[in-house]
Structure 1
């Protein structure tokens, strides 16, 4: 929860994000994590439960999700005052297909029935079909006739759109004005930097970044319900969906930073807990994180030019004032 400005090697100040302790902020919060059965999502589930939150896990992987929910219930039990109604369980799993809108609605409906409110929603669900040749030099006139898989678009972008749409409504209910709540979306370094071999995945992650930017200016309006929205942009991360061994070997040889799922989960929890963060993107490399949106905006006049930047700002103001109205 501490963001500080440090000098980079280019002389341009950048904001390094330093997550702080979570217990005081996560205790008794209701957090819904879509894609929480494995990898970063599972690490975030455990971190939140460890620090007193109640977590709803939505995922297509039922065996792993159910096992994780049982682990959290056993390892971090909920203690209730015998004189009061019993508290809901530490964790709850529901099988969810983010590409199916009704499945997403069912997840939120059941979470709300069980916990009576939702404080934060995280979308970690993702797909990377590196063996699906949408764009490949080996494609022929024959091969191009077979329609490619849409899974990367459906899971990474359509699923994120579905969850965000439903979350934006559910987060308003049973929470008074001024109570912090948020939506945290998972993009990727590929969401802002070109990455070879994953064209469709990258297009989807750019879409996630665009979704956050489109909503950050008016997600609260006209309700003023204090709904924040941010993104996490991990770089190379050690999860079950590993890169080819040739990439891993070269990465290690070059001494490049490699994040663990726990590293990214810690940054994610920090963003959930810091109610000053809204409309930010955290680029995660190894154990460190850097906020990138502020510099993109701050340096616009340098990379776009002073006059075009001023004209663009004037036009965007007109669009905001007329379209939002």
Structure 2
């Protein structure tokens, strides 16, 4: 199946779809041992897919199904990710990889804290290494394997990059985390026009998974309620991922997983990666997206 050309067309989140369309497909997912990643693994296995979970730790629960395989993987290590993909190709019931989800991510102290210290400390860049560099590794391997496996029939190849609502809005949290998530968004908006892979983003709002401390959940929920909002729901994140995985017409969009006060379905097309037709930024984007780069490629472009 050829990659659908990018079109600025909103995803109809009310359109029904069938989870079981993933049955028989092979899924590679990073960070599937806990939190939302574990929920995605459960959903894909339940719907009949074969899943290879690459995570630095084993799953928080055991699976009796032979349709899920765990591979120890530090996503910041290229060789570890290579092993995950090679395992998926070798173990795949259908001989290839159909869906890749770059889900692994971490949160931590802001590298720009400590501005009043007696002397500046070198910033820790692990947030960037995991949340952006690791995603770049996953994307490169997904693209390579998609291009170098059996292309017969109408087999869809799908890459889902997990960014965050913090990749779209201002935050008083970690500026480096936000920078990484903006970077994932930028990766998607470039790849969507290259035609090499069907690529989309998932951008969750705060979701109360077991990996969050209960004290944080309670404090944050109280602040949300004062604004008439709440956490987004795990089930809605799963539905959004399955929608991206099964709807072959969606390319180059970001589905935000949001409080149901903002969308009854719990997710929506953020519609923030394009500009008003004829505006200065739209004019520049149309030009840049159609530009044929010369000998030095994109590296010669203006900063």
TM-score by length of 1: 0.78
Counterpart-to-counterpart distance in 2, 1:261 and 1:310: 35
Change (3 A) 1:271 1:246: same
Counterpart-to-counterpart distance in 1, 2:165 and 2:19: 29
Counterpart-to-counterpart distance in 1, 2:46 and 2:24: 11
RMSD of aligned residue pairs (Cα, Å): 2.4
- 1:55-106 Cα shifts (integer Å, max 9, x gaps): 1111111252xx34x24x0xxxxxxxxxxxxxxx311111111000000001
- 1:261-286 Cα shifts (integer Å, max 9, x gaps): 22201111111000000001011113
Counterpart-to-counterpart distance in 2, 1:250 and 1:309: 36
Shift of 1:15: 5.2
Q: What's 1:196 paired with?
A: 172
Greater Cα radius of gyration, structure 1 or 2: 1
SS of 2:201's equivalent in the other structure is: strand
Q: What's 1:22 paired with?
A: 18
Where structure 2 has 5 or more consecutive residues not aligned to the other structure, the ranges are: 1-8, 260-264, 299-303
SS of 2:189's equivalent in the other structure is: helix
Alignment of 1:51-90 (within 5 A): 51-64=47-60, 67-68=61-62, 70-71=63-64, 73=65, 89-90=66-67
Alignment of 1:175-190 (within 5 A): 175-176=151-152, 178-190=154-166
Q: What's 1:261 paired with?
A: 234
Counterpart-to-counterpart distance in 2, 1:55 and 1:36: 10
Change (3 A) 1:321 1:283: same
Alignment of 1:73-112 (within 5 A): 73=65, 89-112=66-89
Counterpart-to-counterpart distance in 1, 2:143 and 2:286: 28
1:252 equivalenced with 2:222 (yes/no): no
Shift of 1:49: 1.0
The one of 269, 279, 284 equivalent to 1:291 is: 269
Shift of 1:239: 1.5
Shift of 1:51: 1.1
Change (3 A) 1:90 1:252: same
Q: What's 1:148 paired with?
A: 123
Counterpart-to-counterpart distance in 1, 2:165 and 2:225: 19
Q: What's 2:192 paired with?
A: 216
Q: What's 1:166 paired with?
A: 141
Indicate conservation of the 8 Å contact 1:17/1:288, yes or no. Answer: no
1:319 equivalenced with 2:291 (yes/no): yes
Counterpart-to-counterpart distance in 2, 1:21 and 1:117: 24
Aligned length: 277
Larger strand fraction of residues: 1
Q: What's 2:113 paired with?
A: 136
Indicate conservation of the 8 Å contact 2:32/2:55, yes or no. Answer: yes
TM-score by length of 2: 0.83
Indicate conservation of the 8 Å contact 2:205/2:258, yes or no. Answer: yes
SS of 2:203's equivalent in the other structure is: strand
Q: Does 49-58 or 202-211 show the bigger shift?
A: 49-58
Q: What's 2:102 paired with?
A: 123
- 1:178-234 Cα shifts (integer Å, max 9, x gaps): 4211100000001111111210000000000000011111142xxxxxx30000011
The one of 230, 250, 265 equivalent to 2:200 is: 230
1:47 equivalenced with 2:47 (yes/no): no
Change (3 A) 1:276 1:137: same
Where structure 1 has 5 or more consecutive residues not aligned to the other structure, the ranges are: 1-12, 74-88, 221-226
